[in-house]
Amino acid sequence: MWHPLQAEFPQQQPLAGFLRGPSEIHTGEAVGIVTCGSSRIRPVKDSANGWLETTFYDPNKHAKLVVMGRKDGMPLLLRLAKPGQAKAEDWPNLRSWLLESDPESFDLLATAASLANWQEQHRYCGRCGCKTQPRNDEYAHQCPRCHLRQYPRVSPCIITLVWREDALLLARSPRFAPGVYSTLAGFIEAGESAEQALHREVEEEVSVKIGNFKYLGSQSWPFPNSLMLGYWAEYQGGDIAFDGIEIEDAQWYPFDQLPELPAKASISRYLIDSFLRWKGVNS
The residue range among 5-13, 44-52, 121-129, 184-192 that interacts with Zn ion, by the rule CB under 5 A, is 121-129
Asked if residue 19 lies in contact with residue 69, where contact means CB atoms within 8 angstroms, the answer is yes
Shortest Å distance, C-beta 121 to Zn ion: 16
Asked if the bond preceding 224 is cis, omega within 30° of 0, the reply is yes
Q: Measured from the CB atom, is 123 or 164 closer to Zn ion?
A: 123
Cα–Cα distance for residue pair 281/256, rounded to 1 Å: 8
Among 123, 127, 131, 164, binds Zn ion (CB under 5 A): 127
CB of 112 to Zn ion, least distance (A): 27
Instruction: Tell me how far apart the alpha carbons of residues 94 and 91 are, in angstroms, rounded to a whole number.
Output: 9
Half-sphere exposure in the Cβ direction for 96 (13 Å, CA): 5
Q: What is the number of other CB atoms lying within 10 angstroms of the CB of residue 68?
A: 25
| Neighbour count for residue 58 (Cβ, 10 Å) | 12
Interface with Zn ion in residues 140-169 (CB under 5 A): 143, 145-146, 148
Q: How far is the CB of 146 from Zn ion (least distance, A)?
A: 3
Q: Choose between 64 and 127: whose C-beta lies nearer to Zn ion.
A: 127
Please tell me whether residue 128 binds Zn ion under the rule CB under 5 A.
Answer: yes
How many positions of this chain bind Zn ion (CB under 5 A)? 8
Question: Ramachandran region of residue 69, left (φ > 0), alpha (ψ -120 to 50) or beta?
Answer: left
- CB of 218 closer than 8 Å to CB of 267: yes
Name the one range near Zn ion by CB under 5 A: 33-41, 139-147, 163-171, 195-203: 139-147
Query: Which listed residue (125, 229, 247, 267) binds Zn ion by CB under 5 A?
Result: 125
Q: What are the DSSP calls for 105-134, one per residue?
A: HHHHHHHHHHHHHHHHH--B-TTT-PBPEE
**Cα 77–chain centre separation:** 19
DSSP 31: E
DSSP SS3 for 65: coil
Nearest residue (CB) to Zn ion, 121 versus 196: 121
Of 17-25, 118-126, 184-192, 266-274, which segment contacts Zn ion by CB under 5 A?
A: 118-126
* CB closer to Zn ion out of 88 and 130: 130
Q: Which stretch binds Zn ion (CB under 5 A): 87-95, 108-116, 124-132, 228-236?
A: 124-132
Q: Nearest distance from residue 149's CB to Zn ion, in Å?
A: 10
Residues that bind Zn ion (CB under 5 A): 125, 127-128, 130, 143, 145-146, 148
